[in-house]
Amino acid sequence: MNEAEIHEILSRLLLAGKLSGGVKLGEHRLADLFGVSRERIRKVLHRLGHERLLEIVKNRGAFTIEPDLREGRIVYEARRILESGMAAHLADNLTQAQVERLQQHVDAEAEALRRGDQATWQALSAEFHFLLAEMTGNPIVQRQAHELISRTLMLVKRYETTAGSTCGCEEHRAIFRALAGRERGKAVKAMNSHLSLVETRLRPIACVAEGPSLEELVAAEIAARRAGDAAIPVAAA
Ligand SMILES: [Zn+2]
């Protein structure tokens, strides 16, 4: 498996929010599971550390992070500061093609919600924010937005929300309308109030049960993939 695939699997498992915090990851075990060298695994773990999905402690290794609500407040505040700036910038600079792309996106969100397709709706809700960051065309803004949004996604998975997704569909539409109308002040206000509402929808879960380790989840994922590969010729026959 190449580094990009390993990174994709590990980041997805880490973002699923099922892991306890402060658990050291076994580089040896992960290298064995993926069938790659320890150096390769270490490289991927460092990248995940930069993305704040893991904590890298010098001379000790990589550890899972316990996302907590106190930290969450700071992250949401940072998102408001960054994303309201993004909204202001986009209201002034969006191209017609980008407006159309956003229109399609909010329509797809509404459609997923109408169908009751929670999984797609949740994925699209998060993507809305990634898409706005991408549309700024600024790699630094994109990187910062990616880090902050990823951190709040971990929180959302970890803590109960009053809805299936914390992002309100109508709130995204309000942001979109302000952006499409080039209404800078309105776009900033809509983004700020949306992110404040998202934050208030987070509810702590009474107790987080001891879950499986990352290594166990990786082993299950790889076994499932192998079973999937094996199933292809049978299904084709
Ligand atoms: Zn949202």
Sorting pLDDT into bands at 50, 70 and 90, what band is 51? confident
Two tokens at 232?
A: 């292809």
pLDDT at 237 over 50: no
Distance from the alpha carbon of residue 1 to the mean position of ligand 1, in angstroms:
33
Question: Do 38 and 171 meet the contact criterion of CB atoms below 8 Å apart?
Answer: no
Distance from the alpha carbon of residue 147 to the mean position of ligand 1, in angstroms:
15
Question: Do 32 and 71 meet the contact criterion of CB atoms below 8 Å apart?
Answer: no
Cβ-based neighbour number of residue 85 at 10 Å: 14
Distance from the alpha carbon of residue 198 to the mean position of ligand 1, in angstroms:
7
Residue count (the chain): 237
Sorting pLDDT into bands at 50, 70 and 90, what band is 174? very high
Ranges of CATH 1.20.120.530 domains, the chain: 69-203
* Residue range 96-147, pLDDT digits in tens: 999 999 999 999 999 998 998 888 888 898 899 999 999 999 999 999 999 9
Top-confidence residue, 43 or 121: 43
Sorting pLDDT into bands at 50, 70 and 90, what band is 232? low
Which residue, 100, 198, 210, 204, is CA-closest to 160?
204
Distance from the alpha carbon of residue 162 to the mean position of ligand 1, in angstroms:
15
State the pLDDT at residue 235. Answer: 41
Computed over its alpha carbons, how large is the radius of gyration of the chain? 20
CA distance 141 to 126: 16
Average pLDDT over residues 207-231: 79
Cβ-based neighbour number of residue 136 at 10 Å: 18
CA distance 64 to 217: 13
State the pLDDT at residue 64. Answer: 87
3-state helix, strand, coil in the chain (%, to 5): 70, 5, 25
pLDDT over 70 percentage in the chain: 88
Question: Do 178 and 186 meet the contact criterion of CB atoms below 8 Å apart?
Answer: yes
Report the CATH number of the 3-66 domain.
1.10.10.10
Distance from the alpha carbon of residue 167 to the mean position of ligand 1, in angstroms:
4
User: Whole-model pTM?
Assistant: 0.67
Sorting pLDDT into bands at 50, 70 and 90, what band is 207? very low
Distance from the alpha carbon of residue 218 to the mean position of ligand 1, in angstroms:
30
Ranges of CATH 1.10.10.10 domains, the chain: 3-66
Question: Do 114 and 37 meet the contact criterion of CB atoms below 8 Å apart?
Answer: no
Distance from the alpha carbon of residue 22 to the mean position of ligand 1, in angstroms:
29
Question: Do 57 and 63 meet the contact criterion of CB atoms below 8 Å apart?
Answer: yes
> Domain 69-203 - what CATH class?
mainly alpha
pLDDT at 18 over 70: yes
Distance from the alpha carbon of residue 125 to the mean position of ligand 1, in angstroms:
6
Distance from the alpha carbon of residue 171 to the mean position of ligand 1, in angstroms:
7
State the pLDDT at residue 199. Answer: 84
User: What is the chain's mean pLDDT, rounded?
Assistant: 87
Distance from the alpha carbon of residue 213 to the mean position of ligand 1, in angstroms:
30
State the pLDDT at residue 17. Answer: 72
Distance from the alpha carbon of residue 126 to the mean position of ligand 1, in angstroms:
6
